[in-house]
Amino acid sequence: MKYVISVSKTYKHRGKYITHKEKTKKHWHIYYYEYDEVDETTKMYCKQVSFLSAMYYKTQKVKKIDLICPDCKTTYTHFIKKRDVKHILNESCPDCFEQFKDIITL
């Protein structure tokens, strides 16, 4: 599964000691996390995309947060689309399958 965290316009060849000319073009890139279900690992990638794809991925951006379950006392990483408290509380703990709003209100 792909979780887009950033969409930006950057140079193709970028690095620490590279100086670009004024005529050098910038290209749209997305930065995303790829979740591997077999290994259960998350890796970060960067990919060059077209203008239309970049505008689509801007609407699909998520934020990575770590939530601690009060019952289990374990930390889990969640990717949420909105940055509201309301959407954070709708997430659930993978071990005890309780939603965070049910646990916190008790």
pLDDT tens digits, one per residue of 4-49 = 999 999 887 777 777 777 788 889 999 999 988 888 888 999 999 9
Question: Which pLDDT belongs to residue 58?
Answer: 92
**Residue appearing with tokens 């794809």:** 53
Residue 69 has pLDDT above 80, yes or no: no
pLDDT band at residue 76 under the 50/70/90 scheme:
confident
How many structural domains does the chain have?
Answer: 2
Q: Are residues 54 and 69 in the same domain?
A: no
Last residue of a domain, one of 24, 43, 60: 60
**Domain shared by 44 and 74, yes or no:** no
Whole-model pTM?
0.71
Write out the chain in H/E/C secondary structure. Answer: CEEEEEEEEEECCCCCCCCCCCCCCEEEEEEEEEEECCCCEEEEEEEECCHHHHHHHHHCCCEEEEEECCCCCCEEEEEECCCCHHHHHCCECCCCCCEHHHHHHC
For residue 85, report the phi and psi dihedrals to the nearest 5 degrees: -65, -35
